[in-house]
Structure 1
Amino acid sequence: MFDWSQYFGWFYFAFMITAIPVAIMIILEKRSPYKTAAWILALILLPIFGVLFYLVFGQEYRKRKMFSVRGLKGLKEVRKISAQQLRQFKQIEQPKEVSEFQNIIRLMLNSSNALLTTGNTTQILVNGENTFKALFEAIGKAKHHIHLEYYILADDVIGTRLKELLLKKRAEGVEVRVIVDDVGSWELKKKFYRELRENSIEIYPFMEVRFPRLTSKVNYRNHRKIVVIDGKTGFIGGVNIADHYLNGIPKAGPWYDMHLKIEGDAVATLQIIFAADWFFVSQKNIVGRKYFPVFSEAPGIPIQICAGGPDYDWEGIAQAFFAAIVNARKRVYLVTPYLMPPAEMLMALKTAALSQVDVRIIIPEKSDARLSKWCTFSYVEELLEAGVRIFLFKAGFIHSKYMLVDDSFSTIGTSNFDFRSFETNFEANAFLYSREFSAELETHFLNDLEKSEEVSLLQWQERPVLDKFRESLAHVAAPMF
């Protein structure tokens, strides 16, 4: 007969030497109670596999200062300008659109050195077709340098078009630097890298993941989508380089997304983020006026480009979202493909709605990730109970990431409204302070709303029990990611 006492003896031994030490480490990291409880539960139920899962996905690197850019030239200058701008808010009267949100502007200056720039013009680009057309046109006009940073760069039709254009521009003498996330672009073949490098194009994968070395960093991904051309034209948003941004995906349909083209002073702040990431992957500095033109301080849309991730001491993007929502007086319009908010962000949305702020959120009915969809749906009932209006996008998969607050605050970028984007991934968002821009973005929101169906609380509560059960399981697991 099988000796169950021996089995439980080995189980107890494994628990003592693996789960308990790791549980103590997790407690000492002082994470949110939700994350701590979720990880300890995983360790108790799966003492050996839970430890392995934690080592791969769960370690906290922000506090360990692993992503250092201490050798980055220009960092002191950025901090100096940031300090000057903080002093100016106390001394100089600001335009109404800026002064109305100066608490958020000061917040991002303090947390992320996100400089405020004014000499900017913008163009909202809806979906892959418009984004790729504008991007390739701008790259084609490059004279000095092209800097690209993407989570996904695919070796498909659109990826090949980009590669051929970059090779052409490099042959013309234009400098080309490329950063791709190693996990997001995992399918990118060595031949692709080799062809670019053989033609003097510098390309580096971000945070290579090779077993067993560096597997502990697999969870920290560079989700930024940044393009800087000649230090004067920049792009940021949700669109990566892959065919499905044009052709859609099976079972979900067409792919809806949003990107932003910027010309003006804010491009230099996009360049700062790229330069920091470039230094991290290559240990090479990018300096000089060709890359960082002097701020014109001309009239235009006030913009802050804020980066978030383990390379910053504070969760700058999350803090800006939180501050904007809790200070909203009229409305909060949010579009996100993944609605998995940390507890404080969930409280902010509910508090705004209960204060009779018009809070509307568009999420996809169909998703590219089943677990993310279930987890997203697990938050819907709680938000509906607080008076938040939820809309399911029906025309395909909406991957856009933008938010409007009141009449003159808006943000477009790479950050989803979820745990990973706020706490784990490397992200970047543009924050804009303009009544005209917000009105334009509202038009796009209303167009997305027409393609969506509002969900009622009663309708949501009457869904099948199986749906609610799997969503609840996904909800419990979400804090571990």
Structure 2
Amino acid sequence: MNIFFSLIKCLIFLIYWLLIANITFRVLIKKRRSIASSLSWLLSVYIIPFIGIFIWFFFGELYLDKRQKKIANRIWSMSNTWLNELKSRTYIFQIKNSEVATSLFQLCKHRQGISGIKSNKLKLLTNTNKIIETLIRDISLARKNIEMVFYIWKPGGIADDVAMALIKSAKRGIHCRLMLDSAGSIAFFRSPWVDIMRKSGIQVVEALKVSLLRVFLRRLDVRQHRKIILIDNYIVYSGSMNLVDPFLFKKSSGIGQWIDLMTRIEGPIAATMGIIYSCDWEIETGLKILPPLPNKTILKDNSNKNSSIQVIASGPGFPENMIHQALLTAIYSAKHELIMTTPYLVPSEDLLYAICTAAQRGVKVSIIIPLYHDSILVKWASRVFFTELLEAGVKIYQFKKGLLHSKSILVDQQLSLIGTANLDMRSLWLNFEITLVIDDSHFGKNLFCIQKQYISDSVLLDKKVWSMRAYWTRILEKIFYFLSPLL
């Protein structure tokens, strides 16, 4: 009996060290992972043995299941026939960009293969009720198709009004597709709305399903975080807003109403948004739904000749590290003023250095974050960056009228970046995200007014007061900072 137990112990010991060796090898060969992230994983696995191994198998690697990975690897390649045909429609592309935007648009062209695209109409939306009202009107006027993807759809309030509008459109023959993240929209998939929508003819897809059976097939924390609405291959909505009623969503948390930004665009940009949606749909269903290529009639005579838009998508199958590169390029392009809003501030070392450098070379840099937060982990992890930012001359504003959820960057009131990506590791390198890059002075001035309103509703973090914070809070900040590469 003693021999048997000794053999079992030896077997467990052998399996344990084989797992450790396997994880160490995977961490070291991962080309995109930073040194800080690699060290965090190695320390976690070696110092907290079994727990570290368990966490690694859940969150350590970015992968889909085999079928999804195969699709993802081919859909956004430069050999993609649809993209090559889109590039032949030269009339939709903007030839020249403003000085501050040129570098970023050149980067996008090199990495994604297409230039900035013209638009007919570009509008920035801030009031959730008005956004929903406008959206419902567009849904009711749709003539061909409606496609949506959201991270969160929470039933109740004005979200139900959108559901009813979508159902009515489906019943009158409009082709409707709805893709929602499994984890973010768990309340929706447990509600009667799924069956009601499907019976009305709406195709509802649960993206990146969460279940125990999928634990060893892929990472469970890879999430579909995009927010996109496409109507008639012509109207596009995108931004930070989930399909929720802000007066009801997470009301019990006591942090107040969620504050978001959405952009509504008319024109050929719908084609590039459509191919991104098509990619996501194929990954989930295996079915191709390529959007129609834009013709000359899609651009109206009154189209904005000085406006140029790029769409940057991230996630498995899309150009690697693209959003991170875009953010760095935008920050380094700033000459006069840089304003950033984000609910989650846990930047990479490169982003932190770029922001501090901008302030040190004379750019007026402001970062607006929520005073009240829904994530304790991110809240504490973000605090460790404050000292370095403040010392560099960055102004940090803490928004006090709810949870500021909008994600925006404005460079010299000309170049705008608006989308779903937060300034944290998860958005930059893990989730399916989307960012609109807009080179338009009128749009930039509108965004500037909104950001100034955010600032007026915020408290400025005082450098001296911050330096006098309690010692125990500094210890907590360092602990959460240690975990930040894993966020």
TM-score normalised to structure 1 length: 0.90
Separation in structure 2 between the aligned mates of residue 392 and residue 9 of structure 1, nearest angstrom: 55
Deviations 1:141-197 (A, max 9, x none): 111111010000122233322222111111111110010011111222354322222
Match of 2:35 in 1: 33
* Distance of 1:363 and 1:116 partners within structure 2: 30
Q: Measure, in 2, the Cα distance between the counterparts of 1:69 and 1:14.
A: 33
Evaluate the alpha carbon distance shift between residue 142 and residue 469 of structure 1 in structure 2; reply closer, same or farther with a 3 A threshold.
same
Query: Does the C-alpha gap of structure 1 residues 426 and 471 become closer, same or farther in structure 2, counting only changes over 3 Å?
Result: same
* Residue 54 of structure 2: aligned partner: 52
Partner letter of residue 323 of structure 2? I
Partner of 1:126: 126
The answer to whether the Cα contact below 8 Å between 1:224 and 1:426 also exists between their aligned partners in 2 is yes
Report 1:61-210 matches (<5 A): 61=63, 68=72, 70=74, 75-79=80-84, 81-82=86-87, 94=96, 97=98, 100-113=100-113, 115-190=115-190, 191-210=192-211
Q: After alignment, is 386-395 or 214-223 more displaced? A: 214-223
Structure 2 letter corresponding to 1:465:
Y
Q: Quote the Cα distance in structure 2 between the aligned partners of 1:433 and 1:235.
A: 17
- 5+ residue gaps, structure 1, are 1-5
CA apart distance, 1:478 = 1.4
Residue type at the aligned position of 2:203: E
CA 1:347/1:478 → structure 2, altered by over 3 Å: closer, same or farther? same
Per the TM alignment, residue 252 of structure 1 is displaced from its structure 2 partner at its CA by: 0.9
Q: Could you tell me which amino acid in structure 2 is paired with residue 77 of structure 1?
A: W
2:222 aligns with 220
Q: Is this contact kept in 2: 1:128–1:246, CA < 8 A? A: no
Cα pair distance change 1:81/1:165, threshold 3 Å: closer
1:78 maps to amino acid: L
> What is the deviation of 1:400?
0.7
Asked if the contact 2:62/2:219 (under 8 Å) is kept, the reply is no
**Per-residue deviation, 1:297:** 7.7
Q: Where does residue 267 of structure 1 map in the other structure? A: 270
- The structure-2 alpha-carbon separation of the partners of 1:71 and 1:415, relative to structure 1 and needing over 3 Å to count, comes to closer
Checking the alignment, whether the CA contact within 8 Å between 1:72 and 1:285 is kept in structure 2 is no
User: Alpha carbons of 1:131 and 1:363: their partners in 2 closer, same or farther (altered >3 Å)?
Assistant: same
Within 5 Å, give how 1:230-241 maps onto structure 2: 230-241=232-243
Q: Sort the Cα spacing of 1:189 and 1:61 in 2 relative to 1 into closer, same or farther, 3 A.
A: closer
1:368 aligned onto 2:370: no
Offset, 1:479: 0.5
Contact 2:101-2:333 within 8 A present in 1 as well: no
Shift of 1:115: 4.5
Q: Tell me which residue corresponds to 2:287.
A: 284
CA spacing shift, 1:72–1:480, aligned 2, 3 Å: closer
Determine helix, strand or coil for the equivalent of 1:305. strand
Task: Tell me which residue corresponds to 2:20.
Answer: 19
* Paired AA for residue 315 in structure 2: G
Kept in 1, the 8 Å contact 2:72–2:318? The answer is no
Alignment partner, residue 386 of structure 1:
392
Q: Which amino acid aligns with 2:189?
A: K
Counterpart of 1:420? 426
Secondary structure at 1:463 match in 2 = coil
Q: Which residue of 2 aligns with 1:468?
A: 474
Q: Which residue of 1 is the match for residue 254 of structure 2?
A: 251
Q: CA deviation at 1:251?
A: 2.0
Residue 411 of structure 2 corresponds to residue 405 of structure 1:
yes
TM-score, scaled to structure 2:
0.89
Partner of 2:3: none
Residue 241 of structure 1 aligns with an amino acid whose one-letter code is L
* 8 Å CA contact retained: 1:156, 1:243: yes
Deviation (angstroms), 1:32: 0.8
Q: Within 2, Cα distance between the matches of 1:255 and 1:278?
A: 28
Does structure 1 conserve the Cα–Cα contact (< 8 Å) formed by 2:60 and 2:219?
no
- Structure 1 residue 55 displacement after superposition: 1.1
Distance in 1 between residues matched to 2:316 and 2:55, nearest whole Å: 20
Native 8 Å contact 2:103 2:333 kept in 1 = no
Aligned-partner Cα distance in 1 for 2:250–2:24 = 42
Q: Deviations over 1:358-414 (max 9, x none)?
A: 111001110111111111222111111111111111111100111101131011111
Partner of 1:3: none
Contact 2:271 2:291 (C-alpha < 8 Å) held by counterparts: no
Partner of 2:231: 229
- Aligned 8 A contact 2:275 2:290 in 1: no
In structure 1, the partner of 2:435 is: 429
Secondary structure at the aligned position of 2:59 is classed as helix
**Structure 1 residues 342 and 245 mapped into 2: Cα distance closer, same or farther (>3 Å)?**
farther
SS at match of 1:223: coil
In structure 1, how many angstroms separate the alpha carbons of the residues matched to 2:346 and 2:106? 27
Contact 2:233 2:274 in 1 (8 A): yes
What is the CA-CA distance between 1:476 and the residue it aligns to?
0.8
Contact 2:399 2:457 in 1 (8 A): yes
What RMSD in Å do the two structures reach over aligned CA positions?
2.7
Could you tell me how far 1:233 is from its partner in structure 2?
0.9
In 1, Cα distance between equivalents of 2:12 and 2:481: 28
Task: Give the Cα separation in 2 of the matches to 1:422 and 1:288.
Answer: 27
CA distance in 1, matches of 2:474, 2:299: 54
Mapped to 2, the partners of 1:168 and 1:296 lie a distance apart of 29
1:242-284 Cα distance to aligned partner (Å, 9 max, x none): 2236666332112211111111121222112111111211222
Partner-residue secondary structure (3-state), 2:372: coil
Q: Which moved more, 1:72-81 or 1:364-373?
A: 72-81
Secondary structure of the structure 1 residue equivalent to 2:74: coil
Partners in 2 of 1:155 and 1:119 — Cα distance?
33
How far off its partner does 1:67 sit? Answer: 5.3
Amino-acid identity (%): 27
| Aligned partners of 2:233 and 2:291 also within 8 Å | no
Shift, 1:416, TM fit: 0.9
